[in-house]
Structure 1
Amino acid sequence: MSYKIAENAALIIVDFQKAIDDSRWERRNNPDAEGNAARLLEAWRAAGRPVLHVQHLSTEPDSPYRPAQPGCDFKDLLAPGPGEIVVQKRTNNAFIDTGLEATLRGFGIGEVVIAGVLLHNSVDATVRMAGNLGFRTWLVEDATASIDLTDLDGRLWSAEDVHALSLAQLNGEYASVVRTEPFLAALQTLVADGAPA
Structure 2
Amino acid sequence: MTKHEIEIAPDSALLVIDVQQGFDDASFWGPRNNPAAEDNISALMDAWHAAGRPVVQVRHASLSPGSVLAADHPGHAFKDFVEKRRYESLMITKHVNSAFYGTPDLASWLTARGIGQVVVTGIQTNMCVETTARMAGNLGYDVLVPLDATHTFDLAGPAGLSLTADELATATAVNLQGGGFARVVTTAQLLSASGPRLTA
Q: TM-score, normalised by structure 2?
A: 0.91
Aligned to 1:184: 191
1:37 is aligned to 2:44: no
Q: Please state how far the C-alpha of 1:9 moved relative to its aligned partner.
A: 0.3
1:49-108 Cα offsets, whole Å, 9 max, x none, are: 000000001111200110122100000111252311101101111111430110111111
Unpaired runs of 5+ in structure 2?
none
Aligned to 2:166: 160
Q: Distance in 2 between matches of 1:55 and 1:97?
A: 9
Q: Distance in 2 between matches of 1:97 and 1:54?
A: 8
Q: Alignment partner of 1:103: what SS?
A: helix
Q: TM-score, normalised by structure 1?
A: 0.92
RMSD across aligned positions (CA): 1.5
Unpaired runs of 5+ in structure 1?
none
Further displaced range: 35-44 or 168-177: 168-177
Q: Alignment partner of 2:148: what SS?
A: strand
Q: Alignment partner of 1:20: what SS?
A: helix
1:113-165 Cα offsets, whole Å, 9 max, x none, are: 01011011111110111000111100010000121112212133111111101
Q: Distance in 1 between matches of 2:89 and 2:40?
A: 19
1:52 is aligned to 2:62: no
Q: Alignment partner of 1:31: what SS?
A: coil
Aligned to 1:71: 75
Report the identity percentage.
38
**Code of the aligned partner of 1:103:** W
Q: Alignment partner of 1:8: what SS?
A: coil
Whether the aligned pair in 1 keeps the contact of 2:8 and 2:190 (CA below 8 Å) is no
Aligned to 1:103: 109
Whether the aligned pair in 1 keeps the contact of 2:68 and 2:75 (CA below 8 Å) is yes
1:132 paired residue among 132, 138, 151: 138
Aligned to 1:113: 119
**Code of the aligned partner of 1:43:** A
Whether the aligned pair in 2 keeps the contact of 1:19 and 1:72 (CA below 8 Å) is yes
1:5 is aligned to 2:8: yes
Aligned to 1:62: 66
